[in-house]
A and B are shown apart, each in its own frame.
Chain A
């Protein structure tokens, strides 16, 4: 395809600062510019300091600090009992986290890469998701499963998948995805504080994205979506790694005279769709963006709900920009597979032309 990376690079403006701002006008001197990776590390550290029952479990998370270094330095400071290098078994990691939670701990599991969550799938959907229901609330499952997800890093097979819809499909689980450092910092703490099991998806390709973090500004609730940019022509909804892609696309659309209203879902289950409905009622147009395959997915769910709730407001069909309904391709083709700025703009234009 046309050299999308260079086009993106020339056209895009670093927008992470903006999405990182929580809407506060004050800029206290205590703010710091940090990456998503560092924000997660700091969020985990804060949660561990606050509650001695918080434990981290995962492969290589100790000395190595995890393959992405998200847990860097935590074992050194909290010891091997609270930052556990586990045997190499995802079902083991999640299944024992369930047991630890029954015993009153708050385990935070790290799954090394998205494609490796499946050996743990059974424990997630059969036990983690259902124990609270089965015990009529007597047993809580305050377990967080952190999953670096999505493509775009030039990795081999099973390292670039977007499995979030499998979990959003399962009742009893909560599923969230952060898209910037500020959310990373707060959402991980909120997820750990939650008494429900939370699948916490981290946009691995954006780990090094930076933004200003002001810890004195209080976060919004975990399960709420957020309007990142107001606009009256077309609504664009996205989450995780696509937040930045769509922020860039909205910027370029603005240069071309189209005012995009951009919404970051943040929570994939439960979905907070009221802001989306309100937005679509004003714009009459919706483009939903995700790099996961579109079939039977979060994007399908949003399309269905919007047509149900905003039928009379729609001036164009809901359009989706997603990964294809194929296995994730070899990396030389991932640029074709992944929705990019051009594909988002193309959908915005198609929606406007309808």
Chain B
């Protein structure tokens, strides 16, 4: 399955948009689309194409896939459901906290719960994750309490979790930077002999998260090159949520993103990112490939950003509401809920219990957020270097001395 040929078969020409011939008048491309084109575009956006890996349909039906399957107990299913509900609740609560002025900004993950929980639950404790800035669900799976995310968005710190202990790197805001960092980390895993024969218990892999827009960056493409030529155990996990702020997928690529992998010499797979089971199965496989020396792998999780890009964004300026409606029918949580109910894997008590748990979590988040202390001014000068910096120490002392004048004058520090 890991033979590159399998993954490099061309996109079926019937569903491929023919690129304009070289030298053709770009004005034709730039013209406003016809109604038919809009509808075709909508369908192309919401359907993942023939290579999409899916194990649970939007209607909540279990289906099989020739290359990926998943043995999963009802208990595991319930726990995936619980993860997604709690993560969504965290997201909605933080969105509300931003609206109420408690957070400076929030980056919603609404709609991407399955992609993140599927990927996050596929990891082993020793694996390392490099997130972008929307990976609240992956953070959850790494055992990071949601309150640890708040510092970034309230502006008290740049994230307070221990990234070494949790094996979850700090959020990265400069698009694409983390992909090279992850490739390097994975090279280190290989150098340390942590890439095994598939049976080694302490074998490790790295997974790095980025968006569809990020695939245009040099860093991401360089990350692919490095990962490939050093056989680094790294899973490149692209959450294609269809938009990079206002720019649709077409603004980043002529071909489906997973197909890019073949040009770099490793497999690329498109998975239904709204299907937690498929994402789990595919990521588990990919991480295992990496741990046993067959990396890298590119996964394109085909999903959709249901909310604004951030709380500062206004999506009504650029996207069609029809698109949103089409994707609502693919909700990642709803389909698991339906499946649980229909299979009698969960009863009303279970759902009530998860709801109660999520209410409690929201309340705890709110309470924590409102009471977060502002760090003291000398935080500015701490940890700039690992060694004492006499110049900076002097700058700090002078500044604290200056501030103390206000204290004496009766000002509040």
Partner of A1, one of B151, B245, B246, B413: B413
Across the interface, which residues of A come within 8 angstroms of B391, CB to CB?
325
- The stretch among B65-73, B185-193, B376-384 that forms the contact with chain A is B376-384
Partner of A115, one of B174, B403, B409: B174
**Min C-beta distance of B311 to chain A, whole Å:** 11
Contact between A64 and B411, CB atoms less than 8 A apart = no
- Please report which residues of chain A, range 1-27, place their CB below 8 angstroms from some CB of chain B when the two chains form the complex: 1-3
- The stretch among B109-117, B138-146, B213-221, B286-294 that forms the contact with chain A is B213-221
Contact between A325 and B392, CB atoms less than 8 A apart = yes
Contact with A along B151-174 (1 / 0, CB 8 A): 111111110000000000000011
- What is the bound-complex CA distance between A326 and B411, given in angstroms? 25
Contact between A119 and B395, CB atoms less than 8 A apart = no
- What is the bound-complex CA distance between A326 and B214, given in angstroms? 28
Q: Does A155 contact B (CB under 8 A)?
A: yes
Contact between A346 and B402, CB atoms less than 8 A apart = yes
- What is the bound-complex CA distance between A253 and B213, given in angstroms? 49
- What is the bound-complex CA distance between A185 and B174, given in angstroms? 30
Q: Does B318 contact A (CB under 8 A)?
A: yes
The range of chain B's interface size is 35 or more
Partner of A88, one of B244, B375, B402: B244
Across the interface, which residues of B come within 8 angstroms of A89, CB to CB?
216-218
**CB within 8 Å for A91 and B218 given contacts A2-B409, A333-B377:** yes
Contact between B380 and A67, CB atoms less than 8 A apart = no
Partner of A119, one of B27, B133, B218, B374: B218
Contact between B247 and A85, CB atoms less than 8 A apart = yes
Across the interface, which residues of A come within 8 angstroms of B384, CB to CB?
325-327
Number of A-B contacts (CB under 8 A): 135
Partner of A156, one of B104, B379, B399: B104
**CB within 8 Å for A332 and B154 given contacts A1-B411, A85-B251:** yes
**Min C-beta distance of B21 to chain A, whole Å:** 17
**CB within 8 Å for A88 and B216 given contacts A1-B403, A1-B411, A331-B155:** yes
Contact between B27 and A64, CB atoms less than 8 A apart = no
Q: Does A154 contact B (CB under 8 A)?
A: yes
**Min C-beta distance of A116 to chain B, whole Å:** 6
Contact between B104 and A119, CB atoms less than 8 A apart = no
Q: Does A336 contact B (CB under 8 A)?
A: yes
Contact between A154 and B411, CB atoms less than 8 A apart = no
- Please report which residues of chain B, range 338-388, place their CB below 8 angstroms from some CB of chain A when the two chains form the complex: 374-375, 377, 379-381, 384
**Min C-beta distance of A84 to chain B, whole Å:** 9
Contact between B402 and A154, CB atoms less than 8 A apart = no
**Min C-beta distance of B309 to chain A, whole Å:** 9
- What is the bound-complex CA distance between A3 and B413, given in angstroms? 8
Contact between A64 and B377, CB atoms less than 8 A apart = no
Q: Does B406 contact A (CB under 8 A)?
A: yes
- What is the bound-complex CA distance between A1 and B173, given in angstroms? 29
**Min C-beta distance of B292 to chain A, whole Å:** 33
Q: Does A92 contact B (CB under 8 A)?
A: yes
Contact between A331 and B104, CB atoms less than 8 A apart = yes
Across the interface, which residues of B come within 8 angstroms of A67, CB to CB?
245, 312-313
Contact between B213 and A88, CB atoms less than 8 A apart = yes
Across the interface, which residues of B come within 8 angstroms of A1, CB to CB?
377, 403, 406, 411, 413
Contact between B380 and A329, CB atoms less than 8 A apart = yes
Contact between B411 and A336, CB atoms less than 8 A apart = no
Across the interface, which residues of B come within 8 angstroms of A155, CB to CB?
104-105
Partner of B375, one of A63, A325, A333, A342: A333
Across the interface, which residues of A come within 8 angstroms of B381, CB to CB?
324, 326
**Min C-beta distance of A305 to chain B, whole Å:** 22
Contact between A156 and B174, CB atoms less than 8 A apart = no
**CB within 8 Å for A158 and B395 given contacts A3-B412, A88-B214, A336-B377:** no
- What is the bound-complex CA distance between A62 and B157, given in angstroms? 33
Q: Does B252 contact A (CB under 8 A)?
A: yes
- Please report which residues of chain B, range 311-337, place their CB below 8 angstroms from some CB of chain A when the two chains form the complex: 312-314, 317-318
- What is the bound-complex CA distance between A89 and B213, given in angstroms? 9
Q: Can you name 20 extra interface pairs (CB under 8 A) apart from A116-B174, A329-B380?
A: A1-B413, A2-B406, A2-B409, A2-B412, A2-B413, A59-B244, A65-B317, A67-B312, A87-B252, A88-B213, A156-B155, A156-B173, A325-B392, A325-B395, A327-B384, A330-B152, A330-B156, A330-B158, A331-B155, A332-B156
**The 3 residue pairs across chains A and B that have the minimum distance between CB atoms:** A2-B411, A331-B155, A2-B406
Q: Which residues of B contact A (CB under 8 A)?
A: 26-27, 30, 104-105, 133, 151-158, 173-176, 213-214, 216-219, 244-247, 251-252, 312-314, 317-318, 374-375, 377, 379-381, 384, 391-392, 395, 399, 402-403, 406, 409, 411-413
19 of the cross-chain contacts (CB-CB < 8 Å) are: A1-B377, A1-B411, A2-B413, A60-B245, A64-B317, A64-B318, A81-B27, A85-B251, A87-B252, A88-B213, A154-B104, A155-B104, A156-B105, A157-B152, A325-B391, A329-B380, A332-B156, A334-B155, A336-B403
Q: Which residues of A contact B (CB under 8 A)?
A: 1-3, 59-60, 62-65, 67, 79-81, 85-89, 91-92, 115-116, 118-119, 154-159, 324-327, 329-334, 336-337, 342-343, 346
